[in-house]
């Protein structure tokens, strides 16, 4: 891949293009622009999706490919159970629950209306069975039983749901229950749903495997996973369906093809068939019309910068994680990279310390921005070295 790289340090720009190095004076950098939705740069427009709201995100680069009404508040229905599962997985990770732990089924859980896994009072059920009943069978009774196992009551669990939503940055979400049963104040957006789903995959990759199970049997009753795409497309391995009369038919879908993973959220479609068809249409368009490129490898030096008052004269700056960017297919050669950093860099510098940002643009439009960090620590130099650099900085 060929792309243009620019380094901006204070008011001095160093431009690297095709191996040629030039230095020019430029104004101080302006505040970063908001990243462009990638479909706006593509020659193939986003498909018409018959849904109230939707979004498609490339999880390899964490970039929005296309969206429609992403911040409109909607009813999440059983997509709520993604957050319920998130908190249960947190409890497992923190050893507050175990998979083989027996859970008492309360009368409230047993009588919860809507979709069910058919748990019964006084009949033993494990945490893992409840997880599978909630995810595969979309059991409202399982959701309430798990909420009570984690927090003692569904009300206390809902408070945890909203705390976790705030931690994840779900700014337009408010939960009122663990199931998704209708409530006027139980609202979210497709952007928030995508963020929650993305973070569940990121923070609980092993537990995410529950979402690709096609059926589950409990109490002698076998129920299929309501996500039809698990049967239609072998690259689909999740995520969750939802439906109420007021919310319509909803689906969060995740699929991996090669190195790329794409997540779509579609809400408010007219039928079970429609939510599957519209989601698959959006998935196929997202995979077929874009490329994801690894621009920088983890710990790869993006720039060697001068250090003042340090035991070393230079320091390597870059990213501690792979830097991927998604662009319309065939446009990787037009990608440009700009590095903006603090100048002067003064020791001591700690590994991972942010000292700037890496900005990636296509046709002068921002597509991604990531932190620029110190890759290797630099200690302060001795008294004499610091004194010399202090004088040099005075005249700089």
CA-CA distance, 135 to 208, in Å (whole number)?
10
Catalytic residue among 78, 115, 279, 292: 78
Is 78 marked active-site? Answer: yes
Residues 186 and 182: their CA atoms lie apart, in Å, by 7
Our answer to whether residue 56 is catalytic in this structure is no
Provide the b/e sequence for 55-89 (b: ≥16 CB within 10 Å): bbbbbbbbbbbbbbbbeeebbbbbbbbbbbbbbbb
Beta bridge partners of 326: 292
The CA–CA distances, whole Å, from 385 to 206, 304, 309, 313 equal 51, 20, 6, 11
**What is the phi/psi pair of residue 246, to 5°?**
-80, -30
Calculate the CA dihedral of residues 368, 29, 171, 169 and round it to 10 degrees.
60
Residue 326's Cβ-count burial label (10 Å; 0-12, 13-18, 19+) is buried
**Annotated catalytic residue, options 39, 56, 138, 254:** 138
Q: How crowded is residue 282: how many other Cβ atoms within 10 Å of its Cβ?
A: 24
Catalytic, 143? Answer no
> Longest C-alpha distance within the chain, in Å?
82
Cα–Cα distances in angstroms (integers) from residue 187 to residues 84, 148, 174, 386, in the given order: 15, 22, 5, 57
Using alpha carbons only, give the angle 389, 396, 386 rounded to the nearest 5 degrees.
Answer: 10
Of 61, 81, 106, 276, which is the active-site residue? 81
Query: Does the N-terminal peptide bond of residue 344 adopt cis geometry, omega within 30 degrees of 0?
Result: yes
Tokens of 223: 């129920």
- The beta strands (E) that lie in 85-138 are given as 102-103, 125-126
Structure tokens at 57: 């995100």
H/E stretch holding 250: strand 248-257
Any idea which residues carry the catalytic annotation? 78, 81, 138
């Amino acid at each position: 891949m060929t792309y243009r790289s620019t380094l901006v340090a204070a008011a001095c720009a160093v431009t690297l293009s095709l191996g040629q190095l030039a230095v020019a004076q430029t104004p101080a950098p302006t505040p970063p622009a908001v990243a462009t939705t990638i479909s706006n740069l593509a020659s193939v427009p986003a498909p018409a999706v018959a849904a109230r709201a939707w979004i498609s995100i490339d999880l390899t680069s964490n970039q929005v490919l296309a969206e429609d009404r992403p911040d409109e508040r909607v009813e999440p229905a059983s997509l709520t159970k993604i957050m319920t599962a998130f908190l249960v997985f947190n409890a497992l990770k923190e050893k507050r629950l175990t998979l083989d732990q027996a859970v008492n089924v309360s009368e409230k859980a047993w009588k919860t209306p809507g979709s069910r896994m058919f748990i019964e009072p006084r009949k033993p059920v494990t945490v893992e069975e409840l997880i599978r009943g909630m995810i595969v069978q979309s059991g409202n009774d399982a959701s309430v039983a798990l909420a009570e196992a984690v927090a003692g009551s569904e009300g206390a669990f809902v408070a945890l749901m909203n705390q976790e939503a705030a931690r994840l940055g779900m700014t337009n979400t408010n939960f009122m229950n663990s199931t998704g049963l209708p409530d006027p104040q139980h609202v979210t957006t497709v952007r928030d749903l995508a963020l929650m789903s993305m973070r569940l995959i990121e923070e609980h990759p092993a537990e995410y495997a529950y979402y690709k199970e096609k059926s589950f049997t409990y109490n002698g009753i076998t129920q299929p996973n309501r996500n039809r795409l698990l049967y239609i497309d072998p690259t689909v391995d999740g995520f969750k369906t939802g439906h109420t009369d007021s919310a319509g038919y909803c689906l969060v879908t995740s699929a991996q093809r090669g190195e790329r993973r794409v997540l779509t959220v579609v809400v408010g479609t007219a039928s079970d068939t429609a939510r599957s068809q519209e989601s698959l249409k959006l998935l196929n368009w997202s995979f077929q019309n874009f490329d994801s490129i690894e621009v920088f490898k983890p710990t790869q030096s993006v720039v060697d910068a001068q250090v003042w008052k340090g035991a070393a004269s230079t320091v390597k700056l870059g990213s501690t994680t792979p830097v991927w960017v998604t662009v319309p297919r065939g446009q990787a050669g037009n990608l440009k990279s700009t590095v903006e950093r603090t100048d002067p860099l003064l020791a001591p510098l700690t590994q991972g310390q942010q000292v700037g940002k890496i900005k990636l643009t296509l046709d002068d439009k921002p597509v991604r921005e990531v932190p620029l960090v110190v890759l290797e620590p630099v200690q302060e130099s001795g008294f004499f070295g610091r004194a010399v650099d202090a004088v040099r900085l005075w005249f700089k």
